[in-house]
Amino acid sequence: MQTLSQVLKASNAPVALQDVLTTTTNTCIDICKALHKGSLAGILGVAGNENVQGEEQKKLDVISNDMLKSDLMSCPAVRAVASEEEDDIVPANTNGEYLIAFDPLDGSSNIDINAMVGTIFSIYHDQGEKPATEADFLKPGTEQAAAGYVLYGPSCMLVLSTGQGVKMFTLDPEKNEFVETQESVTVDKDTQEFAINMSNQRFWSESMQGYVNDLVAGKDGARDKNFNMRWVAAMVGDVHRILCRGGIFMYPWDSKDPTKPGKLRLMYEANPMAMLVEQAGGKAHTHTQRILDIQPEGIHQRVPVILGAANEVDKCLSY
């Protein structure tokens, strides 16, 4: 079995990109260790402040953000970082070639119940003479050089794409390194499993309500087959399930808060997950367009997300 560094060396990824990936994933190993200490390290619970998006920050949101930020700042290949937990982008090295956007801890409502969380990252190539600005980050997801996540679950896993398919790695905690455990990940076109937060049902559009009603009706309804439902409440866990055994995941538009067109963030969640899902043969759309084609208007922009099994995403969009 090959280690992550062996896989990266054998790939045709530029050395600077390999450095960024090594730095990011090494920090994730440190985050994983901090998570494992849990209450023993006094790191559970709320931090006592809100992020720029008005969400309550957990201590571990702040800790993992600070760890990633400081490690990436000292990686010469990094030009700037953007984070769900930072108001503005943070310029790093003017001569750096890569921009990294990340959700340092996805699924933070799971922290206090010892359930799955993860780190999601999205990497763009971008060289310039001047310090980076927010405008440099506003590129469509099709331009991502790499995307991935680290899932802190019963085992710690890295799922990565540099644009040539998707690979899965498992952390060997004794050797402190990721080892490739699945060389090529694919998502079946059809599925009988869906993921959505059903408590938002009354806020969805009429067409989304119609689609989900038909899934729930199963064999007795228009779809003529039964569906199972799962919701991890951490996108990283729900997308991981889809990459492992298929399915469709939705966080659609809802009318709960008219200022938010969706819950999930384009740059830190939707784009990197869309790249992984497409690279595995699935689809990732909003209700109107392919996620990777969206021209971002701001780093903290939110979008509706419908992703997973290609035929099922098409079916959903047909409503």
Which residues does the annotation place in the binding site for Mg(2+)? 84, 103, 105-106, 269
What single-letter DSSP state applies at residue 293?
G
248 binds, among Mn ion, ligand AHG, none (CB under 5 to 8 A by kind): none
Taking CB under 6 A as the criterion, the residue among 23, 99, 101, 107 binding ligand AHG is 107
The footprint of ligand AHG on residues 71-90 (CB under 6 A) is: 84
Least separation, in Å, of the C-beta of 24 and ligand AHG? 17
Annotated binding site for substrate, which residues? 106-109, 197, 263
171 binds, among ligand AHG, Mn ion, none (CB under 5 to 8 A by kind): none
Taking the C-alpha atoms of residue 126 and residue 139, their distance in angstroms, rounded to an integer, is 10
In terms of Cα–Cα distance, which of 250, 264, 248, 258 is closest to 203? 258
Strand stretches in the chain, DSSP E: 46-50, 56-58, 78-83, 90-91, 98-106, 117-125, 144-152, 156-161, 167-172, 177-182, 193-195, 228-229, 248-251, 264-265, 283-285, 302-303, 305-308
Of the candidates 147, 215, 235, 306, which one interacts with ligand AHG according to CB under 6 A?
Answer: 235
Tell whether residue 197 is a contact of ligand AHG (CB under 6 A).
Answer: yes
Distances, alpha carbon 84 to alpha carbons 65, 68, 106, 190, in Å? 9, 12, 10, 33
- Nearer CB in complex with ligand AHG: 96/148: 148
Among 234, 250, 270, 306, binds ligand AHG (CB under 6 A): 234
For residue 264, the minimal CB distance to ligand AHG (Å) is 6
Q: Hey, how many other C-beta atoms are within 10 angstroms of the C-beta on 275?
A: 26
Which residue among 23, 108, 119, 161 contacts ligand AHG (CB under 6 A)?
108
DSSP state, residue 11: S
Q: Can you give the binding site for ligand AHG, defined by CB under 6 A?
A: 55, 84, 103, 106-109, 197, 233-235, 251, 263
